[in-house]
Amino acid sequence: MSTQRIQHLVPSTVILLLAGTVAFLSFTREPAAAFLFPRLVSVVMLSLALWNFLRAARGLSKVGAGINAAQLKAILPGLAVLAVFIFFAAKFLGFYVASFAAFFVMFSIYDPDSHASVKVWVKRIVISFLFMLVIYGLFSMLLKVQTPRGLFF
Total domain count for the chain?
2
Sign (positive or negative) of CA dihedral 38, 44, 50, 52 = negative
pTM of the model: 0.66
Q: Which domain holds residue 18?
A: 1-66
DSSP 149: P
Is residue 17 located within the same domain as residue 81?
Answer: no
d(CA 110, CA 117) in angstroms, rounded, equals 15
Question: Do 148 and 87 lie in a common domain?
Answer: yes
Provide the pLDDT for residue 107. 95
Helices (H), ranges, 58-148: 69-84, 90-93, 95-110, 118-136
141 and 92 in one domain? yes
Please check whether residues 62 and 93 belong to one and the same domain: no
Query: Which pLDDT belongs to residue 26?
Result: 87
What is the rounded distance in angstroms from the CA atom of residue 19 to the CA atom of residue 49? 7
Taking the C-alpha atoms of residue 40 and residue 45, their distance in angstroms, rounded to an integer, is 9
The last residue of one of the domains, among 15, 38, 66, is: 66
- On whether both 103 and 151 belong to a single domain, the answer is yes
The domain boundary residue, chosen from 24, 50, 66: 66
Residue 18 near residue 86, CB atoms below 8 Å: no
By CB neighbour count within 10 A (0-12 exposed, 13-18 middle, 19+ buried), where does 91 fall?
middle
Report, as ranges of residue numbers, the positions in the chain whose pLDDT lies below 70: 1, 63-66, 152-153
Same domain, 102 and 112: yes
Give pLDDT, residue 60.
82
For residues 151 and 122, state if they share a domain: yes
Asked whether residue 19 falls in the same domain as residue 6, the answer is yes
Radius of gyration of the chain (CA): 18
Rounded-to-10 torsion of CA 86, 88, 91, 97: -80
- Identify whether residues 48 and 120 lie together within a single domain: no
User: End of a domain among 11, 44, 66?
Assistant: 66
Q: Which pLDDT value is given to residue 54?
A: 93
Q: Please check whether residues 48 and 84 belong to one and the same domain.
A: no
Tell me the residue length of the chain.
Answer: 153
